[in-house]
């Protein structure tokens, strides 16, 4: 995995959708950005607010999602947008949003990927930074039931082991070498999933007022999606891999390493990124990461 040219989109592209948690109508606008800009969000409904870099330094703790903030400006549910950008290797892009939460679309990143591909992807005259994992690092959940390991590899590979125990969703495991091609064909269309028994609780908390079974995968007690069909037999683990791509994008660079996630979620993924960044020097890369040649 060698150095490559940075990339951005050729022209602006706009998407509209409904936010999963807040149920608000949202407009997303993806704009080309110059070399070295990175990925960032800007709240157009908050005049004068600064852009929010999509890096771990600006990530804030949330349950079941990934959010970034800069001052009073916060953007929730960024993981699918970041997964699409990182998965397609679009390094420099400003994402304008007219509300506090990215739309959910159909629960996947497919609509975003299609829009970005339609906008066109172009190379830029600057090399993209790649961090290579040079020694293993692992983070574990407080109860010890989930963990994420990063270890050296010549490619960017993610392995996910999904195991919720007895229940509607069977154990699933999948390994993917992440490239623009594999992301677009094998991960982008994998949808968010939830158990039917969880829906009532989420709505009692004010979430998902406009969300239906067509907007994500809702699994009934029989293990089948309610009013929907699977796109892959192992769609759940593919969506977990999609989430990992989005969360690991908070490193702000390409990654060369093998990541093994066992029952992890957004919080543990962010913990791993923080652990990796915490072992990188301010002036040079050392410890768990080095800048790849």
Within 8 A by CB and 6+ apart from 186, the residues are 176, 238
For residues 106 and 217, what is the distance between their CA atoms, to the nearest angstrom? 9
What Å distances lie between residue 14 and 11, 46, 94, 103, 137, CA to CA? Answer: 10, 19, 12, 12, 39
Nearest by Cα to 272 from 135, 130, 149 = 149
Is 266 labeled as catalytic in the residue annotation?
yes
Residue 118 three-state SS: helix
Name the catalytic one among 37, 80, 239, 266. Answer: 266
Task: Kindly provide the b/e burial profile for residues 87-101, where b requires at least 16 CB atoms within 10 angstroms of the residue's own CB.
Answer: bbbbbbbbbbbebbb
User: CA 114, 192, 254, 285: dihedral to nearest 10 degrees?
Assistant: 160
Angle in degrees, CA 29, 127, 92, rounded to 5: 10
State the catalytic residues: 266
């Amino acid at each position: 995995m060698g150095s490559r040219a940075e990339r951005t989109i050729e022209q602006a592209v706009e998407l509209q959708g409904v936010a999963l948690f807040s149920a608000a109508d949202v407009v997303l606008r993806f704009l080309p950005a110059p070399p070295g800009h990175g990925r960032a969000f800007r709240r157009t409904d908050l005049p004068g607010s600064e852009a929010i870099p999509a890096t771990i330094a600006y990530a804030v703790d949330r349950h079941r999602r990934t959010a970034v903030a800069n001052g009073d400006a916060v953007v929730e549910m960024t993981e699918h947008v970041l997964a699409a950008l990182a998965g397609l290797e679009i390094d420099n892009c400003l994402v304008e949003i007219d509300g506090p939460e990215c739309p959910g679309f159909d629960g996947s990143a497919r609509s975003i990927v299609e829009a970005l591909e339609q906008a066109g992807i172009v190379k830029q005259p600057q090399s993209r930074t790649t961090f290579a994992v040079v020694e293993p690092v692992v983070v574990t959940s407080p109860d010890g039931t989930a963990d994420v390991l990063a270890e050296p590899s010549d490619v960017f590979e993610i392995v996910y082991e999904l195991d919720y125990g007895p229940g509607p969703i069977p154990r699933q495991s999948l390994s993917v070498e992440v490239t623009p091609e594999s992301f677009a064909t094998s991960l982008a269309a994998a949808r968010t999933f939830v158990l039917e028994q969880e829906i009532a609780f989420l709505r009692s908390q004010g979430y998902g007022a406009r969300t239906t079974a067509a907007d994500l995968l809702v699994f009934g007690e029989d293990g089948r999606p309610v009013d929907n069909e699977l796109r892959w037999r192992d769609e759940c683990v593919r969506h977990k891999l999609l989430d990992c791509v989005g969360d690991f994008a908070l490193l702000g660079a390409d990654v060369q390493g093998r990541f093994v996630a066992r029952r992890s979620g957004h919080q543990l993924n962010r913990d791993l990124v923080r652990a990796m960044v915490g072992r990188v020097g301010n002036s040079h890369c050392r410890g768990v990461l080095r800048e790849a040649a």
